[in-house]
């Protein structure tokens, strides 16, 4: 299985901050990498697919980058609605695997 490691596990930030979350894969996933946002009691919501493609309806302050084994999710200016947990996921190889999550908290 491809192991996905996210850092940091928790991030404290203020509204307006630029925030970057990193996801590292134990082997190359080429660019078959997605990012999800999950709020308490809710299902995950797709933000980014194919490493850098923005899902329809997702604000442009979200962006994804990277390829191979290292990927990033950046929020250019953190908004109150963005405080949540974020997960990366590889879909290059079965079984599909997710990172452990990064919780973005209010500073």
Partner 1 sequence: QVQLQESGPGLVKPSQTLSLTCTVSGGSITSAAYYWSWIRQHPGKGLEWIGNVYYSGSTYYNPSLTSRVTISLDTSNNQFSLKLSSMTAADTAMYYCAGNPSDGRVLGSAFDIWGQGTMVTISS
Q: Which chain residues interact with partner 1 by CB under 8 A? A: 1, 32, 34, 36, 42-46, 49-50, 55, 87, 89, 91-101
Q: Give min distance, CB of 14 to partner 1, in A.
A: 25
CB nearer to partner 1: give 69 or 102. 102
Nearest in space to 6 (alpha carbons), one of 29, 25, 19: 25
Beta bridge partners of 36: 46, 87
State the minimum distance, in angstroms, from the CB of residue 1 to partner 1: 7
- Tokens 């879909």, located at residue: 91
């Amino acid at each position: 299985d491809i192991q996905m490691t996210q850092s940091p596990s928790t991030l404290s930030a203020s509204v307006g901050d630029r925030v970057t979350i990193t996801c590292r894969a134990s082997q190359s996933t080429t660019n078959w990498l997605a990012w999800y946002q999950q709020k308490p009691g809710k299902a995950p919501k797709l933000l980014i697919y194919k490493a850098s493609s923005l899902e329809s309806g997702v604000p442009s302050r979200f962006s994804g980058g990277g390829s191979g084994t290292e990927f990033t999710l950046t929020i250019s200016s953190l908004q109150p609605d963005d405080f949540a947990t974020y997960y990366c996921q590889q879909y290059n190889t079965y079984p599909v695997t997710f990172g452990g999550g990064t919780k973005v908290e209010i500073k």
